[in-house]
Amino acid sequence: MKKFTALFLVLSLLILSVNLYAKKKGAELAVQMKDGQSVKGELIAVRVNSLLLLDSESGVDVSVDIADIKAVKIVKKSKFGLGLLIGGVGTGLAFQLTMSEEHRMEGQPTIETAVLALLGALLGGLIGAGLGQDKTIKLEDKYDSEIKKIMEDLRKKARVKNAQ
């Protein structure tokens, strides 16, 4: 029972420590306009009829009218590396903690632990890569009620959530 408690504590620390140093930033967006232009930047605020972005190239605030937007892509950071780390360490620790003392003394478990940790890391990396995929939202040919719902969802991802 002590082994499972220790495993739980180690995994909790790994998972929870990821958010300790996080600064509040808006989501990274790539906005495709109806005229073919595109704007990339951090979402600062969602206003009634526009999105306010901090342009990633020039560092200037850009206001984009919602009526001119064809599609919005929410660019997410890859979580492949984090998945590798958590999957590998978690699987290796779990195997080591659940193994009997006699089995541990034989020397063979280190190879088994390494193989299982490698498999756990690969699985964790694949899960992390899946979680980090970009999401594209098309606004063209949507009803006003649908666009309003999309803007409410984007507002939650903005740096300033209550901007008008």
pTM: predicted TM-score of the whole model, two decimal places: 0.61
DSSP string of 81-150, one letter each residue: HHHHHHHHHHHHHHHHHHS-HHHHHTSTHHHHHHHHHHHHHHHHHHHHHHHT--EEEE-TT--HHHHHHH
Q: Which residues contact 17 (CB under 8 A, 6 or more apart)?
A: none
21-35, 48-62, 130-144, range with the lowest pLDDT: 21-35
For the chain, give the percent of residues with pLDDT over 90: 1
DSSP string of 18-42, one letter each residue: TTTT----PPEEEEEETTS-EEEEE
Residue 49 carries which side chain, given as an amino acid letter? N
- Say if residues 99 and 20 touch (Cβ distance below 8 Å): no
pLDDT number for residue 144: 85
* β-pairing verdict for 61-65 and 28-33: unpaired
Q: At residue 147, what are phi and psi to the nearest 5 degrees?
A: -65, -40
Overall average pLDDT of the 108-126 stretch? 80
Confidence of residue 109 (pLDDT cuts 50, 70, 90): low
